[in-house]
Amino acid sequence: MKRVVKLVAVATGVAALLAVLRRRPAPPSASPTAPPYAPSKPVEPTSPAKAAPVDAPLVPEPQAWVEPTADGGCPDGYPVKAKLSSKIFHVPQGTLYERTVPDRCYATAEAAEADGLRISKR
């Protein structure tokens, strides 16, 4: 009889846990570690007279952020260190900059703010 009572109690607990998990919102579809897409610009029809020369080099637009290097630093040109868990970024002049191991590296503080991060208070 005791085993039946324990079995019913465990089954009730599992059912309650499953009900709570089903009510949680779905995770966002975009991965926080995926690099952002470059904004698309509207394409205007061009006449043959306005077309770009064929030998003109295509210059890619710079990314807003990049992954940190293997040693935990930021690559050249992306000095701003960001922690996604706290939504805080650190600039090179900050007191905690050197000990921060980044999740992302931004080119400018403005780019980090545009992604919803705030600057460190120290």
- Residue 30 falls inside a structural domain: no
Number of folded domains that form the chain? 1
Q: Which range of residues forms the domain containing residue 80? A: 65-119
- Residue 95 falls inside a structural domain: yes
- Residue 91 falls inside a structural domain: yes
Q: How confident is the model at residue 109 (pLDDT cuts 50, 70, 90)?
A: very high
Q: Does pTM top 0.85 for this prediction?
A: no
Q: Residues 61-65: contacts with CB within 8 Å, 24+ apart? A: 62/107, 63/35, 63/36, 63/38, 63/107, 64/36, 64/106, 64/107, 64/111, 64/114, 64/115, 65/35, 65/36, 65/104, 65/105, 65/106, 65/107, 65/111, 65/112, 65/115
The predicted pLDDT at position 110 comes to 94
- Residue 52 falls inside a structural domain: no
The predicted pLDDT at position 1 comes to 84
pLDDT of 84 above 80: yes
* pLDDT tens figures, 21-73: 677 665 555 455 656 666 666 666 665 555 556 666 676 777 889 999 999 89
Which DSSP helix (H) or strand (E) runs through 82? strand 80-83
- Residue 115 falls inside a structural domain: yes
